[in-house]
A and B are shown apart, each in its own frame.
Chain A
Amino acid sequence: MSIITISSDSYEVGRKIAEKTAEILNYKCLGREILAKVAEKHGIPELKLARALDEVPSSFGLSAKLRDRYLAYIKAYVLNLLLEDNTVCYRLAAHLYLTNVSHVLKVGIISNPKELISRIASEKNISEEKAEKFIKKRKDQCRRTSLQVFHVDETDASRYDLVVNLGQIDKKRIIDIITETVSDRKFKPVTYSLNCMEDIEMENRVKAVILEHFSDIKVHAKRGTVVVETKAFKFKKEKKCNSIKEMAGKLPGVVNIEVHTSSYVSGN
């Protein structure tokens, strides 16, 4: 299934371009509205899911454990939908976790700076000078969040196939470029790229279940074989391994499970 991810420094601009592109291509359009469904499925507030995507973990905000769990819920849900249909995806950070999937066209949109400043100034009822500072602060925060949460720099242009600045190029032209590019055979799914997506989806599905009970886990999946890395005290090792195997084993598509444990080191 062809996938386009659109990332923008402005929610409105990203949404408009994503919706119009999806309409022209007759693709499904996925945005933050799906967080309500994820929240309902797992019985958690939608706001917390949005915070897991946007905020840097801090002692006053979401803990790293909760953030990892919420992100696994979101990723598993989004990936499952992406596997079903041709999709345009925006504001769900998909470009940050679909890094190795070849059929994803990753587009970054930079808003017209003047328009963005005046919009933020009028929305927040602040001066343009303050709006400019606010935008700069938000950009820094995005960068820090992407680095801490996904270990990639969202502002790095090499993370995208194409970055377009709306200062000089109009939206219609950008949509034309995106729609033409995605029809190229390089952005059509092949068996290998679909397998990659399925593996990432399985990793996150397994992770979401295990993180409800244990933290400190790493999950790798390849064609139904799941490897879970975790830490355990020697006397609890067997019990922990068995319960992880039991939890993951119930999930559809999981064929083999391996659990690798390493010991906790005091003070580390």
Chain B
Amino acid sequence: MAIITISRGSYSMGKEVAEKVSARLEYECISREVILEASKYYHIPEIKLSRAIHDAPSILNRISGGKQKYIAYILSAFADRVAKNNIVYHGLAGHLLLTDVKHVLKVRIIAGLDYRISIVAKRDNITRNEARVLLIRDDQERQKWTKRLYKTDPADSSLYDLVININKLTKDHAVDFICQAATCKELETTESSLQKVKDLALACRVKATFLEQGFDVSVTSDYGNILVYTKAGDRLMHKLQKIVKGLDGEIKGINNIEIHSGVTAPHSAV
């Protein structure tokens, strides 16, 4: 019983691998569904959320927090989904949100540029050069996105449990490896690791609410006890307290909320 996140470069066959793994292990396979759920829950057009997760935030976006809000919505929907367990997720950033959760198998699927160029050129009926430009731009955008939001390089293999190169290895090899690794004892779901995912889902939802009101905060949750870390001074504290009061009825599962001002947020905060 595990959560499997599959991070992939564009056209690296990650989607196909994810679908095959989910079919073999009888897990649910999700990707775009997360965006649809976020769109439905927060009443934001799907296209805006898709753009937020695809394009790196510009300087203006970072100041206004527009994209950050959308990303928080998506992560909140993602964390809610994975809390149900037995999930194969393929897409951006899944592994980064779940770094501290034990029962998550983090996989990255990569493929050689030449191989990807052939696929894109054939699929879109464009020249190899055009396909190359498209792929390089796409890779750079994904890299920028992860670097700006999580300050890590998606190509860093230490972020994953398995990095599979679909070059000499095939999709079926990748499926075999992932299914074998998913049954490792270390990846068994425990009560505490499941609670961690539930806490993450809660923290993401709280963060999304704060961002909605224009406050960029970091949030942790421990068995429903929420700590909100903010850089806002005393002048804005009453506004934050007001949001906290509103949260009580709005989000289920919260035991207690505290706001910490001027304190550095821990690494595990969302």
Contact = CB atoms under 8 A, between A and B. Distances in A.
Interface of A: 102, 105, 108, 110, 113, 155-158, 160-165, 167-170, 173, 176-177, 180-181, 184, 186-187
Interface of B: 102, 105-106, 108, 110, 112, 155, 157-158, 160-165, 167-170, 173, 176-177, 180-181, 184-187
Contacts of A162: 162-165, 169, 177
Contacts of B158: 110, 113, 165
Contacts of A108: 157, 163
Contact of B169 (A113, A161, A168, A176): A161
B111 to A, nearest CB: 9
Given A156-B155, A173-B181, A177-B177, A168 B161 contact: yes
Contacts of B167: 161
Nearest to A103: B168
A157 B157 contact: yes
B184 A168 contact: yes
Q: Which A-B residue pairs are the 4 nearest by beta carbons?
A: A163-B163, A157-B157, A157-B163, A168-B161
Given A102-B168, A169-B186, A160 B161 contact: no
B165 A161 contact: yes
Q: Which of B112, B155, B167, B168 has the most CB of A within 10 A?
A: B168
Nearest to A184: B173
A144 B169 CA distance: 28
30 contacts: A105-B168, A110-B158, A113-B158, A155-B157, A157-B108, A157-B110, A158-B110, A161-B164, A161-B165, A161-B168, A162-B163, A162-B169, A165-B157, A165-B158, A165-B162, A167-B161, A168-B181, A168-B184, A168-B187, A169-B161, A169-B162, A170-B184, A170-B185, A170-B186, A173-B180, A177-B180, A180-B176, A186-B168, A186-B169, A187-B168
B175 to A, nearest CB: 12
A163 B162 contact: yes
